[in-house]
C-alpha cells in the first residue's frame, strides 16, 4: 500500500497533489507545516495567498464577535469566552471563574463549518484508491491538523477489501481510525461483501459521514447505513 499526506500546509492551493508527491517521490507518509510548504515548492508548486474576500470577512466578523466560537478550553486566560487572547495557562481560581461565567458559544461541526472533499475510486486496472482534501474547521487554533492527513482516519484503501473516505469532526474521528475500522472491523463476509459491523452506524457516533467502495461491488446488510458506492467498471 502506498500513502502520502500533508498537514498544516499554507499558501499552496493543490494540497492533495502535494500529498501525491509525498507518496510518489519520497519514502515518507506525512509531511507537515512550513517545511511541507518548502517541499511543495521544490516539487514545482506555486506559493500564493488563498485568502478571498469572503474568508477575510468571515475572519473580521469573528474577531468583532470576540473570537466566538473557538476551540480553547476554560483553563486558559484571558477567558476564551470573552477574549481573542493570546492565551496562557490559567490559575485554578481563574479557571473556576471562567466556567462560572456566561455560557460559551461552542464550535459546531455542521455542513457549513468545513469544506472536506473525499473520493474513493476503482480504475480500469482494478486499483482501489481513496483521497481526502480539506481546509479544516472554521476558527481552528493555528497549527491544528485534523483527520484528513491521518491514514485510516480521513481515508483508507486496501486492494483486497475496499476503500472509504469521510468527513465530520476530525478531532473525534482521528481518535478511532473509523475509515480503517469500517473496512477491517467487520471485514468481508463469505460473499466478499463489505461488513461494517463495528461502525455500522456509518461513523455517526464519531461525528462523521462515510462513503465506502467495497472491493467486489457488494454491500452487506450490516453496512446499509454506510454510503456504499458500487463501481460501474
Q: Which of 202, 119, 108, 106 minimizes the C-alpha distance to 155? A: 119
Pairing state between β 76-77 and 88-89: antiparallel
Q: Which residue has the cell 484571558?
A: 78
Q: What pLDDT score was predicted for residue 231?
A: 45
Q: DSSP readout, 70-105?
A: ----TTEES-TTT-----EEPPHHHHHHHHHSSPP-
Extents of the domains making up the chain: 5-43, 53-89, 114-229
Q: What pLDDT score was predicted for residue 170?
A: 86
Q: What pLDDT score was predicted for residue 186?
A: 52
46 assigned ligand-binding residue = no
Helix (H, G, I), strand (E, B) or coil at 96: helix
110 assigned ligand-binding residue = no
**Tens of pLDDT, residue by residue, the chain (233 residues):** 899 999 999 999 999 999 999 999 999 999 999 999 999 999 999 999 999 999 999 999 999 999 999 999 888 999 998 999 999 998 877 666 666 655 566 666 555 555 788 888 888 888 889 999 988 888 899 999 989 999 999 899 988 888 888 888 888 888 888 778 777 765 444 333 444 434 444 444 445 566 666 665 555 444 444 555 544 33
Rounded to whole angstroms, the Cα distance separating 87 from 190 reads 55
Q: Which residue has the cell 515518507?
A: 28
Q: Is the peptide bond before 160 cis (omega within 30 degrees of 0)?
A: no
Distance from the Cα of residue 123 to its chain's centroid: 24
Among 46, 97, 116, 151, the one annotated catalytic:
116
99 assigned ligand-binding residue = no
CB half-sphere exposure, 125, CA atoms < 13 A: 2
146 assigned ligand-binding residue = yes
Rounded to whole angstroms, the Cα distance separating 37 from 44 reads 11
For 54, other C-beta atoms within 10 Å of its C-beta total 8
- Verify whether residue 116 is a known catalytic residue: yes
What is the chain's Cα-based Rg? 20
157 forms bridges with which residues in the sheet? 163
169 assigned ligand-binding residue = yes
118 assigned ligand-binding residue = no
Q: What pLDDT score was predicted for residue 56?
A: 96
User: For the domain 114-229, what is the CATH code?
Assistant: 3.60.20.30
Q: What pLDDT score was predicted for residue 172?
A: 87
Structure-derived torsion over alpha carbons of residues 198, 181, 129, 217, reported in degrees to the nearest 10: -20
Distance from the Cα of residue 96 to its chain's centroid: 33
- For 70, 128, 157, the CA distances from 189, given in Å and listed in that order, are 44, 19, 18
Amino acid at each position: 500500500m502506498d500513502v502520502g499526506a500533508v498537514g498544516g500546509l499554507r499558501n499552496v492551493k493543490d494540497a492533495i497533489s502535494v500529498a501525491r508527491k509525498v507518496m510518489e517521490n519520497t519514502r515518507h507518509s506525512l509531511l507537515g507545516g512550513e517545511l511541507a510548504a518548502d517541499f511543495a515548492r521544490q516539487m514545482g508548486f506555486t506559493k500564493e495567498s488563498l485568502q478571498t474576500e469572503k474568508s477575510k470577512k468571515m475572519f473580521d466578523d469573528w474577531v468583532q464577535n470576540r473570537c466566538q466560537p473557538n476551540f480553547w478550553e476554560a483553563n486558559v486566560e484571558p477567558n476564551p469566552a470573552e477574549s481573542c487572547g493570546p492565551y496562557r495557562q490559567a490559575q485554578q481560581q481563574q479557571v473556576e471563574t471562567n466556567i462560572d461565567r456566561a455560557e460559551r458559544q461552542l464550535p459546531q461541526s455542521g455542513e457549513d463549518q468545513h469544506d472536506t472533499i473525499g473520493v474513493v475510486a476503482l480504475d480500469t486496472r482494478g486499483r482501489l484508491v481513496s483521497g481526502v482534501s480539506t481546509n479544516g474547521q472554521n476558527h481552528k487554533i493555528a497549527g491544528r491538523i485534523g483527520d484528513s492527513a491521518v491514514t485510516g482516519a480521513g481515508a483508507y484503501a486496501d486492494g483486497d477489501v475496499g476503500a472509504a473516505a469521510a468527513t465530520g469532526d476530525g478531532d473525534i474521528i482521528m481518535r478511532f481510525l473509523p475509515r480503517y475500522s469500517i473496512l477491517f472491523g467487520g471485514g468481508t463476509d463469505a460473499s466478499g461483501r463489505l461488513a461494517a459491523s463495528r461502525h455500522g452506524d456509518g461513523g455517526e457516533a464519531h461525528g462523521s459521514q462515510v462513503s465506502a467502495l467495497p472491493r467486489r461491488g457488494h454491500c452487506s446488510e450490516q453496512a446499509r447505513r454506510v454510503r456504499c458506492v458500487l463501481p460501474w467498471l
